[in-house]
Amino acid sequence: MEIVKLFDVIVVFSVLCVLGTVQVVGLNQFSQPCNFRAVYNFGDSNSDTGGALAAFQLPRPPFGENFFHRPVGRASDGRLMIDFIAEHLGLPYLSPYLDSIGTSFRHGANFAIGGTTIRPQNESISLNGVLPISLDVQVTQFDNFKVRTGYFYKQANRKSQRSNLPRPEDFPKALYMFDIGQNDIAAGLRKKNDTDFHLSVPDIVEQLAKAVQNLYDHRGRTFWIHNTGPIGCLPVSVHYHDIKPNELDKQGCLKAHNDYAKEFNRKLKDRVIKLRKELPHAAITYVDMYAAKYELIGNAKKQGFLGAAEICCGFHEDDIQVYCGQNETINVVQIYAGSCGNPSKYVSWDGVHYSEAANRWIANRIINGSYSDPPLLLKHACHRSSLV
């Protein structure tokens, strides 16, 4: 929250909520930064820090080449937005819940899995890449995680045995993040049935709301919920379709695809508003990821990037689609879909996911509250606004 002069302060009270760590403040109220001791994240490949790699995939260069210098399970050349958020909070990068090697859960865990959805899909990995760990499964994993780590924490006889386990008292002080929904929209687009998609959106949103309710019942108090980005602006969407000019908006994005995202986002925001009333001790921030990403796409060149439709890693020419890091034989010609020379100049890493440079640009703007409702700094997200 921006610092204001004393005479600009309208609301002058601060109430510590019973049963939680959330404070109720006015939008112009001074407030202390939150002391987030941990982050628990739920999502898809936009925030997966290695869960899908641990469970379903083999490491594949050139992913991770720019920062980690090896594949680490992130769908980018380097860090994701969640990594920049962790850095901003002074916390280590989140260990994937499914990764059993070299992990520490002292400061949280990442339950996100690339390719997953909010609502379970009757699809498969081999058919279209949808993984069987939807949001309800991720929340169940969290429930088990909390119980089991609590047990081992209490049973530990030495401090060293607890060093990689979360402190039970930190769960109410943690930040609970959601970045999921893009694959639900992609599933709707694949089925090419507008009516079915429109009918499904309320249920998709309600299932996300149930996940928040579950975490609240387990003493979660601060929630940071991203809406979904402009899926119609993903370069691979444009490359894959025979597009007529009137199907594109001013930024060269597929209008029909973005309309799906906008509908989901409208209903998600409405549900978040209701959740604030239903969960009186929770601070819930709705983050307009769509607007942040669309701003970058529309101003890519002004921000030092190449055109937003350019893809760094992959081969997408003449109706030939070879995804990042893959080898394909096309007309007896071997094609390796490698990366570009300078990923930091690209908004899109692989046609679907953003480059580290783009992730940093977006993260900086959501951290400062520019796209948040209420408009709070990330470090102030534990404070409930009395005006919301």
Q: List the catalytic residues.
A: 45, 350, 353
CB atoms within 10 A of CB 299: 14
255, HSE (Cβ side, Cα atoms, 13 Å): 8
Question: Which residue in 366, 367, 363, 355 sits closest to 64, CA to CA?
Answer: 355
Question: What residues contact 301, with CB distance under 8 A and at least 6 apart?
Answer: 307
DSSP string of 60-124, one letter each residue: -TTTTTTTTSS--S-SSSS--HHHHHHHHTT-PPPPBTT--SS---TTEEE---TT--SS--S--
Phi-psi region of 258 (alpha: psi -120 to 50; beta: other; left: phi over 0): alpha
What is the Cβ-side half-sphere exposure of residue 362, based on CA atoms within 13 angstroms?
A: 30
Q: How many residues does the chain have?
A: 388
* SS3 of residue 329 by DSSP: strand
Q: CA 254 from chain center: how many Å?
A: 22
Torsion of Cα atoms, 146 then 151 then 152 then 155, to 10°: 160
What is the rounded distance in angstroms from the CA atom of residue 321 to the CA atom of residue 248?
21
Say how many C-beta atoms besides its own lie within 10 A of residue 35's C-beta.
11
176: which strand partners? 40, 223
CA pair distance 245, 322, nearest whole angstrom: 25
What 3-state class would DSSP assign to 383? strand
Alpha-carbon dihedral angle through residues 139, 140, 142, 146, given to the nearest 10 degrees: 140
Interatomic CA distance for residues 209 and 272, integer angstroms: 8
The token duo for 163 is: 């060093």
